[in-house]
Structure 1
C-alpha cells in the first residue's frame, strides 16, 4: 500500500512538472504574427546580405577547387581571393 501511495505521489509530481513546463512553453512561444515579423527582421532577408553570402560561398568553392587541382598549400595565402602567391607545402 505504501509503495502504491509513493508511486501515485511521484506520478502526480511528474505530471504537475510537465504541466507547468508545458504552460511556460506556451506562454513563451511567439504567435504566428510575431514569427512572421521576426522572419522579416532577419539579416538573411536583406538582398545585399544574400549577395555577399553568395559571393563568399563562390570564393570558398573556387579556393577548394583550386586546392584540389594543385600541389600548392593554399592555406598559407595572405589573400585568398587571388590565385597563386602562396608558400609551397
Structure 2
C-alpha cells in the first residue's frame, strides 16, 4: 500500500509541475500580432541589410571559385578583394 501511495504522490507532483510549466509557457509565448511586429523589426527585413548579405555571399562565392581554379592558397591573402598577393601553396 505504501508503494501505491508513493507512486500516486510522484504522479501528482509531476502532473502539477507539467501543469505549471504549460501555464507559464502559454503566458510567455507571444501572440500572433506580437510575432508579426517582431518579424517586421528583424534585421533581415531591411533591404540594405539584405543587399549587404547578397554582396558578401557573392564575394565568398567568387573567392571559392578562384580558389578552385588556382593553386594559390587564397586563405593567406590580406585583402580578399584583390587577386594574388598571398603566399604560395
TM-score interval for Structure 1 and Structure 2 normalised by the shorter chain: over 0.9
Which structure 2 residues correspond to residues 50-61 of structure 1 after superposition, within 5 A? 50-61=50-61
User: Hey, what does 2:23 align to over in structure 1?
Assistant: 23
Distance apart, 1:84 and its partner CA: 1.3
For each residue in 1:27-81, what CA deviation from the matched residue of structure 2 results, as whole angstroms up to 9, or x when unmatched? Answer: 1110000000000000110000000000000101111111111110101111111
- Tell me the distance in 2 between the aligned counterparts of 1:7 and 1:74: 65
Q: Secondary structure at the match of 1:57?
A: helix
TM-score, with length taken from structure 1: 0.96
The corresponding residue for 1:35 is 35
RMSD: 0.7
The number of aligned residues is 89
- Which residues of structure 1 form unaligned runs of 5+? none
Distance 1:18 1:61 in 2: 49
Query: After the TM superposition, which segments of 4 or more aligned residues of structure 1 sit over 2 Å from their partners?
Result: none
Q: Which runs of 5+ in 2 are unaligned?
A: none
Aligned to 2:68: 68
Tell me the residue number matched to 1:80.
80
